[in-house]
Amino acid sequence: KQEVTQIPAALSVPEGENLVLNCSFTDSAIYNLQWFRQDPGKGLTSLLLIQSSQREQTSGRLNASLDKSSGRSTLYIAASQPGDSATYLCALKVGAYSGAGSYQLTFGKGTKLSVIP
């Protein structure tokens, strides 16, 4: 069974600092990997999606990388802002398309980020 681990569980940084969030997984046979953001009391918002054939994706100050061979993904946030404070979750789609209902995600438990002004 795929296991997804996010370390650390919580992180506090001063505003303006660059930071890296980590996600590791046990089964390298993934189809894609996504990073989500969750604000307190809210649902999840997709930030970046990396297909298994890709190495990284960028959106604004965010850059996500994927290394399937080592079972790792990182989310890099440049010049952090207080508005970046949220919980960040990574999620994997395991395996290949195999018919009806095959799109299921396995989630990590998240890293709670606090950016201090």
- Cβ closer to other proteins: 1 or 14? 1
- Closest distance of CB 46 from other proteins, Å: 4
Dist. CA 3–CA 27, nearest whole Å: 8
Contact (CB, 8 A) for 76 and 65? yes
Binding of residue 14 to other proteins (CB under 8 A): no
In whole angstroms, how close is the CB of 112 to other proteins at the nearest point? 11
16-40-47-92 Cα dihedral, nearest 10 degrees: 120
Nearer to other proteins, 10 or 79 (CB): 10
Q: Which of positions 42-101 make contact with other proteins (CB under 8 A)?
A: 42-46, 49, 51, 89, 91, 93, 97, 99-101
Structure letter (DSSP) for residue 83? G
